[in-house]
C-alpha cells in the first residue's frame, strides 16, 4: 500500500499495519482495493446526493401548483427557498466540524440523509394538511441536512479516491446533481397530473401526495448512505484506513485578515448567484406567461441551465486550468449573463437562446471563480474563507428569494428581470474593481497559466534551495518536524496558484462546499 501523502506523512513506525488481519482473497466487487468495488462505491456516492438535489427544486417545478393549492402569493412561495437557506447561513461553518469531530463521516452522512428525508416528509405533510407553515418547517429541516450532506458526500469522495480519480469523481458527482435537478424539473409536473387523475381533483392533498412521491428519492438516498456506511466500515477493517475527514479548520477571527480581493470575490459570488437561482425558482411561470410556453416546455427550458452545465463544467474547468486569466473569464461569464437577462427582459426573442447563454456563462463562472479564492487566501484560512463565502451566499439567496417574490407580485417580471440585471451589474462592478485592484497590487489572479507555470518552477527551485539551506542549518529540527516543510512549500505553491497533484492540493477541503461549486 502506497501512502498518498508521501514520505513526510508516513508514520515513523508502521504500527497500524501490524494490527491488520491477514488479507484473504475477495471477489473483485467486494474487494475495496479493486476498481470494480470502487465503482460500486462511486455509484452509491453519486446517488447519495440525488434525493436532496431532486427535492431542492421541487417548489420551482410545481410553482403554479403550490401557489394555487396552498393559496399563497409569490413572496410567501419564495420563502420556501429562503427557509432552506437560513440554517445554512450558520451551518456551513460547522458542517466540517460536525463530520470530523462529532459524528464521523459515516454517522454524519446517515444523520444528514435522515434530515433530508424527514424534512421532505414534513414538507409533504404540510401540503397534505394544508398548513403552509409546516411546509416551511419542512424546508428548514431539509436545509439542515441538504448542504451538510453535500459536504459529507465530497468527504467520502476524497477518502476513497484521493490521489486516484478524484477530479473525475467530483465531476461525476456534480453531473449527478444536475441530473437530479433536471429530472425533478421535468417529471414533477407529470407526477402531479397523474396524482390528479387518480384523486380526481387538484388541491392540497394532490400536492401532498406528489411531494411524498418525490420524497421516495430521499429514502433511496438514505439507503445509499446506510449501505455506503457499511462498505466504508468494512473497508476500514480490511484496509486499516482512517475514517475520511474534511480536514477543514474554521477560525472566525480570520475574517479580519481577509484581503480586499477576497471581499470582492464574495460580492461577485453573492450577487451572481442571487440573479441565477431565484430566477430559476420563478422561471417557469415567466416562460408560460411571457412566451406562451406550455407547462412542459417551460419546465424543459427552466432546467436547461442545469443540463448545459453538466457536460460543460469539466470542459471549462480544463480550459481555465490551461489558460489561466481567471478574472477575464469571470468577467466574460458575468457579461454573458447580463446579456441573457437583458434579452429575457427586453425582447421576445426565443428564450432558448438566452437560457443557453445563461447555462454556458454559469458553468464558466463556477469554474473560474472558485479557484480564485485559493489564490488570495493562505492555506490555513481556506476553510474559513469558503465557509464564510457559503454563509453569505446563503444569506444573500434567502433575502433575494423573498425580495424577488415580493417584486414579482407587485411589479411583474420586467421589473424583476431589471432587478436581477442590476444584481449582475453589481457583480460586474466588483469584478472590474477586482481586475484593477489585482493589477495595481500586482496580484496573480489574472496571470496566464504559462506565466504561473514559469513562476511555479522558479518558486519551487527557490523553495528547494531554501529547504536545503534550512536542512543544513537545522538538521535536527527538520527531522523532528518533517511536516513543516511540506506544508510550507505547499502553502507557497498554492499561493502562486500552482497546479498541485491532488494529494498535495491545499484546497481539497474547499471542494467540499457545494454551493460555491454549483
Partner 1 sequence: MPAGGRLLLPGLWLLGGLSCLLAAAGGDRRQVTLQYIPGSNSSSASLLHVRAVGRNDTLHYVWSGIGAPTVLLVYTRSESSALHVNWTKLLSASPAGAIWIEPPGSVVYSTAVVFTKVFEYNGTNASGLSKGQEEPFYPSYDLAGFSWQIVNQTALMAKFQGMNTVDPGGTSHNGTISFQVTAYEEGGRDSPLPRLLHTANSSKVEFIMDSVAPRGNKSRFLLEVVTVEEKGGHKRLQSVRSIDDEYTPTIFEMAQLVSKPRNDSVGPSFFQWKTTAYGSRDASRENAIRCRYYPLQTANRTLPGPSIAHAYFGEGLGRSHSIAAINISFSGEDGEVYAEKGYLSWSALLGFGTPPKDAFSPLVMAIVAVALGTPVVLLLAGALVVLFARRKRRSQYEPIN
Which one of the spans 112-120, 181-189, 251-259, 340-348 is the region binding partner 1 (CB under 8 A)? 340-348
Say how far apart CA 384 and CA 252 lie, in whole Å: 7
- Is residue 411 involved in binding partner 1 (CB under 8 A)? yes
For partner 1, the closer of residues 399 and 425 by Cβ is 425
For partner 1, the closer of residues 341 and 514 by Cβ is 341
Q: How near is the Cβ of 421 to partner 1 at its closest, in Å? A: 6
Q: How near is the Cβ of 67 to partner 1 at its closest, in Å? A: 6
- Is residue 205 involved in binding partner 1 (CB under 8 A)? no
Instruction: Pick the closest to residue 73 from 416, 404, 405 (CA basis).
Output: 405
Q: How near is the Cβ of 447 to partner 1 at its closest, in Å? A: 16
- Is residue 300 involved in binding partner 1 (CB under 8 A)? yes
For partner 1, the closer of residues 110 and 300 by Cβ is 300
Say how far apart CA 10 and CA 326 lie, in whole Å: 36
Those residues with Cβ within 8 angstroms of residue 347's Cβ, 6 or more apart along the chain or in another chain: none
Q: How near is the Cβ of 75 to partner 1 at its closest, in Å? A: 10
Contact predicate 147/231, CB 8 Å: no
- Is residue 179 involved in binding partner 1 (CB under 8 A)? no
**What phi, psi does 445 have (nearest 5°)?**
-65, -30
- Is residue 459 involved in binding partner 1 (CB under 8 A)? no
DSSP-derived secondary structure letter, 8: G
Q: How near is the Cβ of 69 to partner 1 at its closest, in Å? A: 8
Q: Which of residues 269-288 bind partner 1 (CB under 8 A)?
A: 285-286
Among 194, 241, 290, 495, binds partner 1 (CB under 8 A): 290
- Is residue 436 involved in binding partner 1 (CB under 8 A)? yes
Q: How near is the Cβ of 77 to partner 1 at its closest, in Å? A: 9
- Is residue 406 involved in binding partner 1 (CB under 8 A)? no
Among 17, 73, 259, 448, binds partner 1 (CB under 8 A): 73
For partner 1, the closer of residues 409 and 485 by Cβ is 409
Helix (H, G, I), strand (E, B) or coil at 448: strand
- As a whole number of Å, the CA-based R_g of the chain is 24
Q: How near is the Cβ of 377 to partner 1 at its closest, in Å? A: 24
Q: Which three cell numbers stand for residue 340?
A: 441573457
Say how far apart CA 373 and CA 494 lie, in whole Å: 11
Among 134, 433, 455, 488, binds partner 1 (CB under 8 A): 433
SS3 annotation, 253-304: HHHHHCCHHHHHHHHHHHHHHHCCHHHHHHHHHHHHHHHCCCHHHHHHHHCH
Q: How near is the Cβ of 133 to partner 1 at its closest, in Å? A: 18
- Is residue 419 involved in binding partner 1 (CB under 8 A)? yes
Contact predicate 494/374, CB 8 Å: yes
- Is residue 346 involved in binding partner 1 (CB under 8 A)? yes
- Is residue 63 involved in binding partner 1 (CB under 8 A)? no
Residue count of the chain: 518
Among 230, 315, 349, 380, binds partner 1 (CB under 8 A): 349
For partner 1, the closer of residues 122 and 327 by Cβ is 327
CA 273, 278, 281, 284 torsion-angle sign = negative
Among 293, 306, 316, 492, binds partner 1 (CB under 8 A): 293
Say how far apart CA 202 and CA 100 lie, in whole Å: 46
DSSP-derived secondary structure letter, 433: H
105-128 and 132-161 helices cross at what angle (nearest 10)? 160
- Is residue 409 involved in binding partner 1 (CB under 8 A)? yes
For partner 1, the closer of residues 289 and 464 by Cβ is 289
How many other CB atoms are there within 10 angstroms of residue 176's CB atom? 21
Those residues with Cβ within 8 angstroms of residue 213's Cβ, 6 or more apart along the chain or in another chain: 191, 195
Q: How near is the Cβ of 426 to partner 1 at its closest, in Å? A: 8
Which one of the spans 69-77, 157-165, 212-220, 486-494 is the region binding partner 1 (CB under 8 A)? 69-77
Q: String of b and e for 451-469 (b: at least 16 CB within 10 Å)?
A: ebbeebeebeeebeeeeee
How many residues bind partner 1, per CB under 8 A? 51
Residues in the site for partner 1, rule: CB under 8 A? 64-65, 67-69, 71-74, 202, 285-286, 289-293, 297, 300-301, 304, 345-352, 408-415, 418-419, 421-422, 425-426, 428-429, 432-433, 435-436, 439-440
Amino acid at each position: 500500500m502506497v501512502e498518498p501523502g508521501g514520505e513526510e506523512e508516513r508514520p515513523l513506525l508502521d504500527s497500524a499495519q501490524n494490527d491488520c488481519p491477514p488479507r484473504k482473497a475477495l471477489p473483485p466487487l467486494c474487494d475495496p482495493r479493486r476498481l470494480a468495488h470502487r465503482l460500486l462505491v462511486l455509484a452509491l456516492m453519486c446517488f447519495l446526493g440525488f434525493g436532496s438535489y431532486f427535492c431542492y427544486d421541487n417548489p420551482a417545478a410545481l410553482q403554479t401548483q403550490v401557489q394555487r393549492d396552498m393559496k399563497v402569493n409569490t413572496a410567501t412561495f419564495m420563502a420556501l427557498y429562503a427557509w432552506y437557506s437560513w440554517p445554512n447561513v450558520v451551518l456551513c461553518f460547522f458542517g466540517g466540524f460536525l463530520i470530523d469531530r462529532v459524528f464521523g463521516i459515516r454517522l454524519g452522512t446517515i444523520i444528514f440523509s435522515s434530515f433530508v428525508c424527514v424534512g421532505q416528509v414534513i414538507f409533504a405533510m404540510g401540503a397534505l394538511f394544508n398548513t403552509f407553515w409546516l411546509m416551511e418547517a419542512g424546508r428548514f429541516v431539509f436545509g439542515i441536512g441538504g448542504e451538510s450532506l453535500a459536504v459529507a458526500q465530497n468527504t467520502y469522495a476524497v477518502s476513497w479516491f484521493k490521489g486516484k480519480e478524484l477530479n473525475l469523481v467530483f465531476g461525476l458527482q456534480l453531473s449527478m446533481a444536475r441530473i437530479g435537478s433536471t429530472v425533478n424539473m421535468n417529471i414533477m409536473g407529470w407526477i402531479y397530473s397523474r396524482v390528479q387523475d387518480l384523486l380526481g381533483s387538484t388541491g392540497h392533498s394532490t400536492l401532498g401526495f406528489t411531494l411524498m412521491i418525490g420524497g421516495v428519492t430521499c429514502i433511496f438516498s438514505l439507503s445509499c448512505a446506510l449501505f455506503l456506511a457499511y462498505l466504508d466500515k468494512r473497508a476500514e477493517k480490511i484496509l486499516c484506513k482512517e475514517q475520511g475527514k474534511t480536514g477543514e479548520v474554521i477560525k472566525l477571527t480570520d475574517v479580519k485578515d481577509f484581503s480586499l480581493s477576497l471581499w470582492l470575490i464574495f460580492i461577485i459570488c453573492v450577487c451572481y448567484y442571487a440573479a441565477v437561482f431565484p430566477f430559476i425558482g420563478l422561471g417557469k411561470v415567466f416562460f408560460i406567461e411571457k412566451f406562451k410556453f406550455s407547462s412542459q416546455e417551460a419546465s424543459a427550458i427552466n432546467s436547461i441551465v442545469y443540463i448545459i452545465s453538466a457536460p460543460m463544467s469539466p470542459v471549462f474547468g480544463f480550459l481555465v486550468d490551461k489558460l489561466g486569466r481567471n478574472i477575464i473569464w469571470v468577467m466574460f461569464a458575468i457579461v454573458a449573463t447580463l446579456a441573457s437577462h437583458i434579452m429575457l427582459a427586453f425582447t421576445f426573442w426565443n428564450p432558448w437562446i438566452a437560457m443557453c447563454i445563461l447555462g454556458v456563462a454559469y458553468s464558466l463562472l463556477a469554474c473560474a471563480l472558485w479557484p480564485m479564492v485559493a489564490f488570495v487566501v493562505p492555506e490555513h484560512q481556506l476553510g474559513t474563507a469558503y465557509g464564510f463565502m457559503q454563509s453569505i451566499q446563503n444569506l444573500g439567496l434567502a433575502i433575494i428569494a423573498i425580495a424577488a417574490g415580493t417584486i414579482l407580485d407587485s411589479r411583474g417580471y420586467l421589473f424583476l428581470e431589471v432587478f436581477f440585471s442590476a444584481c449582475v451589474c453589481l457583480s460586474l462592478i466588483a469584478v472590474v474593481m477586482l481586475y484593477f485592484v489585482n493589477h495595481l497590487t500586482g496580484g496573480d489572479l489574472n496571470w496566464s497559466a504559462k506565466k504561473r507555470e514559469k513562476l511555479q518552477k522558479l518558486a519551487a527551485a527557490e523553495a528547494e534551495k531554501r529547504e536545503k539551506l534550512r536542512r543544513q542549518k537545522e538538521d535536527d529540527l527538520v527531522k523532528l518536524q518533517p511536516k513543516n516543510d511540506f506544508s510550507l512549500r505547499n502553502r507557497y505553491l498554492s499561493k502562486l496558484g500552482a497546479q498541485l497533484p491532488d494529494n498535495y492540493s491545499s484546497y481539497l477541503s474547499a471542494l467540499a462546499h457545494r454551493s460555491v461549486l454549483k
